[in-house]
Amino acid sequence: MLILDSGGVSFLAKRDQDAVAAIRALVRDGAWPPLVPSVVLVETTTGRQHSDAAVNRLLKTCDVREDLPASVARRAGELRHLAQRGSAVDAVVVASAEPGGVVLSGDIEDLGALASHSDAVRIERI
């Protein structure tokens, strides 16, 4: 399972040559569409139509998970406690990737700390 955090969404939404190449590679490898927990939208949208257009265009191609099951929220809390770092959004992203998922991110430090306590979640820099 492939999960995008805010850095992953922002990077791929740019639609520049690197982003397009990354999306094509993910599609080719069968990793598309990625899952995006809806809480990630807090960090990737502004409420301004023009500013959000590229992100919204990308999100239409993703599986946006609108619910946050209590079990995932509790696991995110546990991961934050164990790692002693990372935002609530980061923790939800890592918990959503369990077990054995991959998170694409630009910020691998906090996510890596959270993933070190996870069930086989890998963090990859986008």
Q: What is the CATH number of the domain that holds 95?
A: 3.40.50.1010
Q: Average pLDDT for consecutive 10-residue bins of the chain (126 residues)? A: 96 95 97 98 96 97 97 98 97 98 94 98 96
Domain count, the chain: 1
Label residues 39-58 b or e (16+ Cβ within 10 Å = b): bbbeebeeeeeeebebbeeb
Structure confidence at residue 107 (pLDDT): 83
Structure confidence at residue 3 (pLDDT): 98
Cα Rg of the chain, angstroms: 14
* Cα dihedral across residues 120, 19, 32, 88: positive or negative: positive
Whole-model pTM: value is 0.95
Largest CA distance in the chain: 39
Range of the domain at 115: 2-125
Structure confidence at residue 14 (pLDDT): 94
